[in-house]
Amino acid sequence: MNIVIFGPPGAGKGTQSNIIVKKFNLHQLSTGELLRKEIQNKTDLGQHISSIINEGNLVSDQIVGNLIEKYISNNLYKNRLIFDGYPRNLIQAKNLDYMLKKYDQKIDLVLKLSVKLETIKKRISERKTLEKRVDDNEKIAIKRFETYENNIKPIIDFYKKTDLLKVINGETTITEISDEISGLIESIKGWL
């Protein structure tokens, strides 16, 4: 079972991935978190990407592609990954298919969390005080939202063709959303 979860900033990708990995014994692969770790650890890569992230732009496809390959190629996570925040454009969506095939895997479910900009602003301003993410101010949150909107249409079309795409209303409660996602996972034949 490999799952893709995408949606705008603050949509609840991380929150839901967190719940689902525990419930179904999967592994969360958040490209945003991996990149933030590089910045915290002040690696060469971290120094290269910090201004890109702080401005709400996308890091290069090659950099994130390399990061995710480390997990896809690791037998420990085989068929147990939730991709949180990857893919973010059509090149990445195609690369994910290619990479999974290379390691004899596939995507079983694609979840799109839909949330309005007003809700995003509210959630991000609330989170700001708790997590202190450098990209969590209103201006950059709006920029992240725009980056998302500018890249997402081809991804939706790409996954619509595969019949794997499920659109979820991300405006309801955390529990309602995770129940809906659990139901979708449980309905996949041969999984449980």
Binding site for Mg ion (CB under 5 A): 14
With CB under 6 A as the contact rule, the residue among 2, 4, 12, 82 that binds ligand AP5 is 12
* Residue with nearest beta carbon to ligand AP5: 32
Residues 6+ apart with CB under 8 A from 84: 5, 13, 14, 17, 28, 29, 30, 31, 32, 33
Q: Does 11 bind ligand AP5 (CB under 6 A)?
A: yes
Task: Compose the 94-133 pattern: x for residues touching ligand AP5 by CB under 6 A, - for all others.
Answer: -----------------------------x--xx------
Task: Compose the 36-75 pattern: x for residues touching ligand AP5 by CB under 6 A, - for all others.
Answer: ----------------xx--xxxx----x-----------
- Name which of Mg ion, ligand AP5, none residue 65 binds, using a CB cut-off of 5 to 8 Å depending on partner kind: none
| Distance of closest approach, residue 174 Cβ to ligand AP5, in angstroms | 4
Instruction: Go through the chain and tell me how many residues it has.
Output: 192
- Taking the least distance from each CB to ligand AP5, the nearer of 70 and 191 is 70
Q: What is the distance, to the nearest Å, from the Cα of residue 170 to the centroid of all Cα atoms in its chain?
A: 14
| Distance separating alpha carbons of residues 91 and 47, to the nearest angstrom | 24
Of 126, 148, 110, give the one whose Cα is nearest residue 32: 148
| Distance of closest approach, residue 178 Cβ to ligand AP5, in angstroms | 9
